[in-house]
Structure 1
């Protein structure tokens, strides 16, 4: 038996092919215990529905076969209508390709299928969104059919025999599409428009990943485990600045390249080992980027200055190479790196027999982790409007995270990817409400008894970005609102049910250190830059095993040294009446709210600082300064480093107050301005239009039309268009708070 194992290990190493841009770390083959741990991992994942049975898999194949036949029929009909010879029509072909999680073989029960329709050169995109759309309309088994033609990657969405499908389109510069067509060939991209290249990119990346891993089955099982872990830990969302499916797949593929013979249980452990120690922003590459004469834009920090500011680059292996993680921010990277470290600690215990795999899949209690939260609420008057509105707001939350990160008093803004239904009693005007929660860590200011923090500008610029985009795509409807509210942890029960808030608390090692001796440990440096470490951690960091607790109905008692005005409301929250100003008509847009009633209507949640916003015209662009990755790597275990790694922070939040005379001057000035002027005129307006308060002046921001920013898939740009002509006013209030030591 031992001799057979030795021979198997020898054969394993002899057959090894080199994968990746470096040599493997280890060629060791799995032992019997590794297979036992792998089976335990599979058993731990089964309750979460990550595996489909044979019947479901076969049903997907049948549906894809039907769709493939529909595509062939449609292309043949289009060819006839364009008077192609019958001999050509008979061989024109057409094919459906899959990509994403289904193509990788890691889809879960009930998951949708990402598919690509490939057509020959004489079939236009307009044919796809017209005649093929009509063909689908009359097809039995098709439900919820809708086209999103103006998306970043145009797509038709529908449900076919119970399977949700997202279908994109590409036409190749060839006359026939054969069944054995290989999309990995770079020459297929020649003479294609950018939308076709984007549509092809998903298939090309997925296929390339599968060609770059040593063992596809081991890769798939490892990826299933890592994706499930990421979803359970709340770090699976490309849209919100974490990682999406293709990014997780590339990280797992790189791990497989470094340990080509390892079992899945070992690879999960090595995954955490590798990426908890990875020196970001060094890029993750599955292969050396290849040169091409197609002259398409690729990720290359040597050529593109904007690529140098990416914080966590993971580069797609197919040409044109792109960074799949351009949405990652300082906060999301910090959260993910700490989760990698936590995952390493747990898998160490598992492989030592001290824990089982269920511990790795325990969700964190986000609502015990921080002392301060921002509650972001999106509401609409109808279900249809609400679905559209929520999708847009969610796609822009990372703008809010970026704004908060640039505030000098904030060291971390952690968004929870899960949204929650809002309390309709608190939104009597709108019946459809969704909420997101952002955990906030404030920086400690030395030698200060209290600190005044103004989040007005950070949140208003976010809401303005959302409203501008909604206007640009003609989505904006009466009743669509955004509210941002600052609350403390003890006030969350006004927004969430007890079963969510009463989950097991996690005890912070920094709290253990403080209670045992009062001396800071390495882990307690988590809060070293906070206003008060007890104010932000509150036994909520995700470092150690959960401890059961029963939530008392009474609010938490304030930590020593922290003066609370009331146990039921935040300290020193000011809601002020802003001045009024007419909407701008050109590129220079003042940051000024419309008139509102000075009285604030009381509702059942605590009186908190909010920014109720009704749709309107006063909007401003997002103003961004790239982060410099050369300044170092932030760690959740050392928050003091975060402030050094982000862009220079503002010394104060710009004020929206100003004299009435000055506002009248601005109104008169704006009305005389044309919609678009050259950049010199815009600069002159910016210099003349200053809001002055307390001896400090703030230039009115202008839209930088020269700056281009790569946007995520299926998302429209925040185009620098003229100010929307919608006549509904935007109502804004200030959001300010005072934190005491």
Structure 2
């Protein structure tokens, strides 16, 4: 077996050449099966594989994603402070409910990290996903009232915001300079000991849906780490894949791409198929496998197993809604769910195209014909398309804007879905980033204004008129209807049609300049040709936020 330097959280590793680079001599009958199937190859890495891996790690280091030991220790200290704060709060709430002091002192409670931080692949400056686990006597309303107020009064906490109405309710904060997203789960237990095992399925009995969704963040992360044959290899490969996905604009669960846990499960599956491979090989096989994947065939790390506790699991044979999922990737912990239910027809096309590009580039890297930085270079989104839908949101205060942007971002995929169903649109490519409106002289705006952009490819349908009014109006009305209870004075949403040449009215010129320079330097043709349909937008429809391309 090859060896890797010891890793702790998000610290870099050096990969060394193993003594034996031939196929593992372990008898076939004694080899462990990881995941759903037997491994494809048990080959150990070659010297070239190790060299490619170390080249990749040097490139990742140049991106500044690795933490210093001091920064890592600071995160640990923050989590411990939060943990002690939770224990004290639980005791105080219990006493206020007339629980005996002797009982309140033993209630416990604990804060668990999960997501990228627990996986050890978070980048420098990233936020921490954390979970507060409380006993039955503590209610969700306590968490979002008394604990929220406790946090707001803490000297180390800034920008504290409670989003109780979210699908997964969360308190967002900056704790001593580190962003923290804190979830809450109330278990049907009298006490929460420090050594509680959250992998115990029996803990899910009688759990409410919000507590279940919150708890499964930790359960899924723990299970992934247990299902990979070599954690160091998995971490190194996943860091690169996450950076690639972010750079290529396909890292965002909310707008219909893949989120962090999904990328982790895909990399974990490849690690299961190549247990002894070096990270460089894992990445090349990652693109090879998923560029050829027969979607909607699901990706699974373990068989779907119903623990019979009353919670629905992903099963397209029974659940009609599961049959519509385009790229199902199933979480390994009960109750198993599809982590990619937000994927639309257009985001699927974009992801599949990126897998194909990654396959070509990674193969060239392993052959010595390309370098890792070519794999990670960002796309030229604003120069790839001639037509755009710009989704504009406005608010009067910073707190309102944070909530409003979060709400609208979760709905952007609905607009993409509407456009997908329009026969005159062949692709609606949403940029996952939310941009701030560029402020220049003569540009009058509300204090807070943000935008999303959707690049359009127009289908050749035998007519020069493309009308997107229904797609856009329906979306705006749906968002306004669903936001009726939370919307405040100054909160607005608008969709506009924008031509490429008009982007400089809204975006920072430096963004467009970087893309233009990159386009001029690159001679590789785009896979999708720009549609040559000439367009004209009436002033009336532009003002109304209705798109009509003539």
TM-score (norm 1): 0.68
SS at 2:454 equivalent? strand
Q: Matches of residues 278-357 of structure 1 in structure 2 within 5 Å?
A: 278-357=293-372
- Name the residue aligned to 1:23: 38
Q: Distance in 1 between matches of 2:175 and 2:394?
A: 31
- Name the residue aligned to 2:477: 464
SS at 1:224 equivalent? helix
- Name the residue aligned to 2:465: 452
Q: Distance in 1 between matches of 2:389 and 2:493?
A: 16
- Name the residue aligned to 1:690: none
- Name the residue aligned to 1:428: 444
Q: Do the aligned residues in 1 keep the contact of 2:35 with 2:269 (CA within 8 Å)?
A: yes
- Name the residue aligned to 1:535: 531
Q: Matches of residues 60-71 of structure 1 in structure 2 within 5 Å?
A: 60-71=75-86
Unaligned ranges ≥5, structure 2 = 1-16
- Name the residue aligned to 1:649: none
- 1:152-179 Cα shifts (integer Å, max 9, x gaps): 2222222221121111111222222111
- The match for 2:237 among 219, 222, 232 is 222
Q: Distance in 2 between matches of 1:534 and 1:148?
A: 41
Q: Do the aligned residues in 2 keep the contact of 1:430 with 1:479 (CA within 8 Å)?
A: no
Q: Do the aligned residues in 1 keep the contact of 2:21 with 2:45 (CA within 8 Å)?
A: no
Q: Distance in 1 between matches of 2:454 and 2:152?
A: 41
Q: Do the aligned residues in 1 keep the contact of 2:23 with 2:42 (CA within 8 Å)?
A: no
- Name the residue aligned to 2:547: 735
- 1:407-450 Cα shifts (integer Å, max 9, x gaps): 111111101112333244565252432222211111113xx4x5
After TM superposition, give the deviation of residue 320 of structure 1 in Å.
0.8
- Name the residue aligned to 1:504: 518
After TM superposition, give the deviation of residue 486 of structure 1 in Å.
3.7
- Name the residue aligned to 1:492: 503
Provide closer, same or farther for how the CA distance between residues 17 and 133 of structure 1 changes in structure 2, counting only shifts above 3 A. Answer: same
SS at 2:188 equivalent? coil
- 1:668-724 Cα shifts (integer Å, max 9, x gaps): xxxxxxxxxxxxxxxxxxxxxxxxxxxxxxxxxxxxxxxxxxxxxxxxxxxxxxxxx
Q: Does 1:242 align with 2:257?
A: yes
- Name the residue aligned to 1:443: 459
- Name the residue aligned to 2:164: 149
SS at 1:414 equivalent? strand
Provide closer, same or farther for how the CA distance between residues 456 and 94 of structure 1 changes in structure 2, counting only shifts above 3 A. Answer: same
After TM superposition, give the deviation of residue 218 of structure 1 in Å.
0.8
Q: Distance in 2 between matches of 1:29 and 1:500?
A: 41
Larger Rg: 1
Q: Distance in 2 between matches of 1:247 and 1:3?
A: 31
Q: Does 1:193 align with 2:208?
A: yes
SS at 1:73 equivalent? helix
Unaligned ranges ≥5, structure 1 = 511-522, 527-532, 537-561, 565-569, 577-608, 613-731
Q: Do the aligned residues in 2 keep the contact of 1:95 with 1:118 (CA within 8 Å)?
A: yes
C-alpha RMSD of the superposition = 2.4
Q: Matches of residues 150-189 of structure 1 in structure 2 within 5 Å?
A: 150-189=165-204
Provide closer, same or farther for how the CA distance between residues 429 and 112 of structure 1 changes in structure 2, counting only shifts above 3 A. Answer: closer
Moved over 6 A (4+): 12-15
After TM superposition, give the deviation of residue 86 of structure 1 in Å.
4.5
Provide closer, same or farther for how the CA distance between residues 433 and 302 of structure 1 changes in structure 2, counting only shifts above 3 A. Answer: same
Q: Do the aligned residues in 2 keep the contact of 1:94 with 1:118 (CA within 8 Å)?
A: yes
After TM superposition, give the deviation of residue 51 of structure 1 in Å.
1.2
The range that moved more, 192-201 or 377-386, is 377-386
Q: Does 1:72 align with 2:68?
A: no
After TM superposition, give the deviation of residue 85 of structure 1 in Å.
4.2
Q: Distance in 2 between matches of 1:3 and 1:185?
A: 38
Q: Do the aligned residues in 1 keep the contact of 2:390 with 2:498 (CA within 8 Å)?
A: yes
Q: Matches of residues 273-672 of structure 1 in structure 2 within 5 Å?
A: 273-424=288-439, 425=441, 427-445=443-461, 448=462, 450-471=463-484, 473-478=485-490, 480-487=492-499, 489-496=500-507, 497=509, 498-505=512-519, 506-507=522-523, 509=525, 526=528, 535=531, 570-571=535-536, 573-576=537-540, 609-610=541-542, 612=543
The range that moved more, 199-208 or 386-395, is 386-395
